[in-house]
Amino acid sequence: MPIWVQLVYLLCAVAFILALKGLSGPKTARGGNLIGAAAAVVACAVPFLYLDLDHVGLILGAVVVGSAGGAYGARVVQMTQMPQMVALFNGVGGGAAALVALLELEHMVEEEVPVFFLVATAFTIVVGSVSFAGSVVTFAKLQELMSSRPVVFPGLPIAFGGSLLAAVVLSVLVVSDPTMLVGILLGLLGLAIGVLLVLPVGGADVPIVISLLNAFTGLTVAAGGYVLQNTVLLVAGTLVGAAGTFLTLLMAGAMGRSVANILFGALKGGSTLGAGEASDRPVKSAGPEDVAIMLAYAERVIIVPGYGLAVAQAQHTLRELVDVLIERGADVDYAIHPVAGRMPGHMNVLLAEAQVPYEQLIEMDEINGDFKDADVVLVVGANDVVNPAAKTTPGAPIYGMPILNADEAKQVVFMKRSMRPGFAGIENELLFEPNTTLLFGDAKDSMGKLLSSVKSL
């Protein structure tokens, strides 16, 4: 590899690090994203400049098809569907790394290579396949192509454990006596492990699994970079693997549970279970006019947004309502739970799309002490992140998860379509408290009526 190529790859690796740093803040995120994308384009273009490549036409054709598909998907995807796209992109990365490792294994069969190269190859094949298959299942769950509830069947733990053991045996065979047949079998087994790993995961746990699989993909790319002796792949994969690992641990901590419980909790009934049955217990409800009066006379208002707000596309009307309340002298903030939405930072992005000032978005740890002074808490499209069962009901799927202390406010208004529970599949006792009022209806329609009522006062 020429010196100039190594220097270009080193600069690309530095650009990836700067891009990741840029993504750590809203003001620098766009620039960071552009820097990372530009570095990726340069890294992909360099091999055409110094290698005598075969099948250039096929390679360019694949690049054109992939670029067109990626650009089209990025333009048409809704912000509410962004986690599904992340899952797909992540899965494709893992699958690509596994295929590259298989192709490299074919060359290793014909010539003697260091043992660690074979170890890295076996790791890339199996973990990349796990990431691909698992990401496809997470996509299907989030896109509602299959049930979001945990899928558990008798013998699943035995099948999963047996698959892991078989993967270890085949990996040893790849290292000791490499053959393409063993490599292909290892890849197929990795696909089965990925499916079995994600099937028992349900509801709000799926985004955490996406983050974990993202870490898997990063590690496979890093291992693939070692096999190919490519610095930029090694650095980029390590960055993704480290970031994905930290993100997984932080999200698990935000839910007050371990990663093992998230992955295998459904086997003993401890995972978030997905939508349950609607409650028929009596609640206090009101119309938009009554809620408007409560908001109009409130000095301190806290908004708790959830994924249902974005699904209904009501965030733009909500921003207008908040602007009106602020103009009338109210102190209004948005309380953001770490796992609101479908992935970390998802709720922030959904609100930013509606031009909500970033300064109004307050993280849970900073705003939890303010709820006791709030005159009205308006919960829009959220449920589990304000459910007191997380603090009061041992054995509940969300028990131990830090929540927003909406129950401490003087008045709580829930905007809900129905009495169906959230992802955890359990009732929210806060709905039945005397200081809680429910405003039923589609969030966008109800928010529009609420805005009109507030303006008319």
Separation CA 448–CA 163 (nearest Å): 53
Place of tokens 């379509």: 417
Extract the tokens encoding 314.
């009501």
Topology at the third CATH level for domain 288-456: Rossmann fold (3.40.50)
The answer to whether 384 is a known catalytic residue is yes
User: What does the pLDDT read at residue 366?
Assistant: 93
Q: Which amino acid is at 251?
A: M
Confidence of residue 27 (pLDDT cuts 50, 70, 90): confident
Q: Examine the pLDDT at 220 and tell me if it is beyond 70.
A: yes
pLDDT tens column, 131-171: 999 999 999 988 888 877 788 888 889 999 999 999 999 99
**Distance (Å) of CA 267 to CA 200, 261, 302, 338, 367:** 7, 9, 38, 26, 35
**Secondary structure (3-state) at 271:** coil
User: What does the pLDDT read at residue 342?
Assistant: 67
Radius of gyration for the alpha carbons in the chain, expressed in angstroms and rounded: 25
Indicate the domain borders of the chain: 1-76, 88-268, 288-456
Burial class, 177, CB count within 10 angstroms (exposed 0-12 / middle 13-18 / buried 19+): exposed
Closest CA to 169 of 151, 189, 155: 189
Separation CA 62–CA 72 (nearest Å): 15
Q: Examine the pLDDT at 208 and tell me if it is beyond 60.
A: yes
pTM: 0.81
**DSSP code, position 244:** H
Least confident span in 154-158, 250-254, 436-440 = 250-254
pLDDT tens column, 266-300: 666 555 554 456 667 788 999 999 999 999 999 99
Asked if 376 and 294 touch (Cβ cutoff 8 Å), the reply is: yes
Q: Which amino acid is at 250?
A: L
Q: Examine the pLDDT at 14 and tell me if it is beyond 90.
A: yes
Confidence of residue 204 (pLDDT cuts 50, 70, 90): low
The average pLDDT across 249-276 equals: 69
The average pLDDT across 66-78 equals: 88
Catalytic residue among 205, 333, 384, 407: 384
The H-or-E segment that residue 361 falls in is strand 361-363
